[in-house]
Structure 1
């Protein structure tokens, strides 16, 4: 059975300040890293920047996400370049700067987080009229993201919880692979993946039947999966990249059932 790809969550967020240039460097230098997963949204000028939360004043384990405040998409690039991440000297980078810091041979999973709009309707299968509306909201930002990624030498996989983002990516850049991010509603996730013919599906770690993880509450999901997502994906020719694993035991369980990629916070979980 092939080894699953190691995908560094926000650049190994367990050992580096997430979504920063330092995280790009650390993840790139680890020999196990196949891809780096990052989150993008626009600054006030529309330039794609790499950050997960839509506000700068979030927290991580009690530590402030940044020393600034406000919605990301209302901030100038100068303000973001001065926003210190997790009490380090790292700041919020542009997507272009982040990709320049990624080492050779390492791909990037770009999660389209937000186009600069508070109404993004994640984890929904959209009607044709709603799909057109959502696609139009996302397309200007997706165009900016694709323009940057076109200059990157490595593999790029776009993913999102939002059907509008996937629709925009298919329309703007059909040459790129896309991944449907799934949370608690697996059936809806599969419906969205089929609608846009997503090459990949990205479910939470407890959504994979046949492992002990499937009975553990995670990411707001407390019930075992009602569909064998891995079997369905195999039948439909889609890859499964699972998020987010913290221990080698979790990694080993998912490896044993044959998932394609595992998004992890720490390097070295695949070494056992």
Structure 2
């Protein structure tokens, strides 16, 4: 049985000991910011936290992806903000990924970009550090955190410019 990862004594989120934080899920052995990467970080590496970036789609869904466009990590092209969730979920997020042997071993296996809500649901015992990459992502992101009642296990960290002004719905 997997242990529930709770904050260490002394601080509700970080605690006092060094922590293993899986940046983008650990992008060398599985495609970054995907469920296989997060699953591997939790199951194989015993990560204490998951770290990820989010951006909104044209129809307001909060998708886990670092780049402004889908070009570098998928078989698609263009900005994620210009796509609907239906368009995004049809992309192959393993298309450009090469495993340690240099092979495209996960291409065409159904690896997609996850919604942030899916990550919250799939990893209910994990602490998460999430960065909204745009001001438009901040409000919807916080609504999803609250809807999942995950306020105590999610830390939102962002560049000041990404969350200032009208997007301050995170407070």
TM range (shorter): 0.7 to 0.9
Is contact 2:70–2:77 with CA below 8 Å preserved after alignment?
yes
Is contact 2:56–2:81 with CA below 8 Å preserved after alignment?
yes
C-alpha deviation, 1:50, in angstroms: 0.4
Determine the C-alpha separation between the residues in 2 that align with 1:92 and 1:3. 32
What SS does the corresponding residue of 2:94 show, helix, strand or coil? coil
* Match of residue 76 from structure 1: 84
Which of 47, 54, 58 aligns to 1:33? It is: 47
- Please list the CA deviations of residues 86-111 of structure 1 after superposition, one character each: whole Å capped at 9, or x if unmatched: 3232111111112212252x101011
The alignment covers a number of residue pairs equal to 141
Determine the C-alpha separation between the residues in 2 that align with 1:26 and 1:53. 22
The alignment's C-alpha RMSD in Å is 2.1
Larger Rg: 1
Determine the C-alpha separation between the residues in 2 that align with 1:168 and 1:21. 31
Structure ranking higher in strand proportion: 1
- Note the residue ranges of structure 2 that are not aligned, 5 or more in a row: 1-15, 96-105
* Match of residue 145 from structure 1: 141
- Summarize the Cα distance change of 1:15–1:96 in structure 2 as closer, same or farther, 3 Å threshold: same
Determine the C-alpha separation between the residues in 2 that align with 1:30 and 1:166. 37
Is contact 1:83–1:91 with CA below 8 Å preserved after alignment?
yes
C-alpha deviation, 1:166, in angstroms: 5.8
Structure ranking higher in helix proportion: 1
- Summarize the Cα distance change of 1:36–1:67 in structure 2 as closer, same or farther, 3 Å threshold: same
TM-score between both structures, scaled by the size of structure 2: 0.73
Q: Which portions of structure 1, spanning 4 or more consecutive aligned residues, are displaced by more than 3 angstroms?
A: 166-169
Q: Tell whether 2:131 aligns with 1:111.
A: yes
